[in-house]
Structure 1
């Protein structure tokens, strides 16, 4: 009769382990917002494919970074911290774009999916996400875990995303745990 209580205790212990999320709560909302921004990379890549434009858009990048630096203090962030974070977001987005364009060139065509207008649809979404990401970054800075790098690696590894998005998340969070 002793094995039954032992089995019950083991089952409860394992159920508790499976139900607990090892990811620090500071990562969830920020990673979700980063993923949402990365989701827009395909629309940007399709636009650039259709227009024959290069991925690198230095003038647009500088506009984004200037805007981020200006908005950072209102979110309680140092302009340098916000700029470094958004530089990583831009680089991650370009990683997705370069990868997609590479595959499309290899296949000889981009997917036959509906296109979004870059100026009227995609950039306004990116601008909205900029404000959300600044808010999420400020929240993260207040709750940053002690063992940030290890916890971030676990959080990114546990995201239910495809490998390209995971690689881009790794790039997008490259400086997240650095000391400001």
Structure 2
């Protein structure tokens, strides 16, 4: 196999050359990621309320309600309700990841941060509802690019610098896990 190293080198060069000419990320991606990150950071506040109340993080009834509402909004906006349900479910999973991580940190430390606690029902949930409306608008603007072969690269690059720690970085990766999809053969 004397040609194997040369073939490998040629393949790598072709890959590098192809990625160097990849289309730039659409302008609609960054605002979407900023909103996803903003929604994710609200998980810190939710974690504080769960710490104080002792309530479990998992709230299946609330999640089902949020997803049902998202499906309705998707239909009204001419979006695929199943795609939107997956997007919102990913946001909730990412948010729970933050909450579980923070609660574990605070349990190990023996205390949560001494910061103001907003009311979950009166302040946090209305904020999440407002963000969901904005999120769906931005998702609709980005949707035409979801099947672009460069989408995963765009996401990886656009996520850089948005988060402030490893926990939130992992959660943002989860939150964006369904944004790019492969084109399916028909």
TM-score normalised by the shorter chain: which range applies?
0.7 to 0.9
Q: CA RMSD in A?
A: 1.6
Return 5+ residue gaps in structure 2 as ranges.
1-23
The answer to which of 120-129 and 69-78 deviates more is 69-78
CA distance in structure 1 between the aligned counterparts of 2:163 and 2:128, rounded to whole angstroms: 22
Q: Which residue of 1 aligns with 2:172?
A: 169
1:66-91 Cα deviation digits (max 9, x unpaired): 00001102222110000000010000
CA distance in structure 1 between the aligned counterparts of 2:94 and 2:163, rounded to whole angstroms: 18
Aligned length: 159
Q: Which residue of 1 aligns with 2:86?
A: 84
CA distance in structure 2 between the aligned counterparts of 1:113 and 1:58, rounded to whole angstroms: 27
1:142-167 Cα deviation digits (max 9, x unpaired): 34444111221111134353322211
Aligned-pair distance for 1:36?
0.9
CA distance in structure 2 between the aligned counterparts of 1:75 and 1:103, rounded to whole angstroms: 40
CA distance in structure 1 between the aligned counterparts of 2:175 and 2:28, rounded to whole angstroms: 16
1:71-110 residue pairs with structure 2 within 5 A?
Answer: 71-110=73-112
CA distance in structure 2 between the aligned counterparts of 1:156 and 1:137, rounded to whole angstroms: 16
Q: Is the 8 A contact 2:71 2:85 kept in 1?
A: yes
Return 5+ residue gaps in structure 1 as ranges.
1-21
SS in 2 for 1:40: helix
1:25-58 Cα deviation digits (max 9, x unpaired): 2310100100110111111111111010111110
Q: Label 1:175 to 1:156 Cα distance change in 2 as closer, same or farther (>3 A).
A: same
Q: Which residue of 1 aligns with 2:126?
A: 124
1:95-141 Cα deviation digits (max 9, x unpaired): 00000000000001111100000000000000101111111110110
Q: Which residue of 2 aligns with 1:150?
A: 153
Q: Is the 8 A contact 1:68 1:83 kept in 2?
A: yes
TM-score by length of 1: 0.83
Q: Which residue of 2 aligns with 1:43?
A: 45
Q: Which residue of 2 aligns with 1:52?
A: 54
Question: Structure 2 residue aligned with 1:64, among 40, 63, 66?
Answer: 66
CA distance in structure 2 between the aligned counterparts of 1:23 and 1:161, rounded to whole angstroms: 23
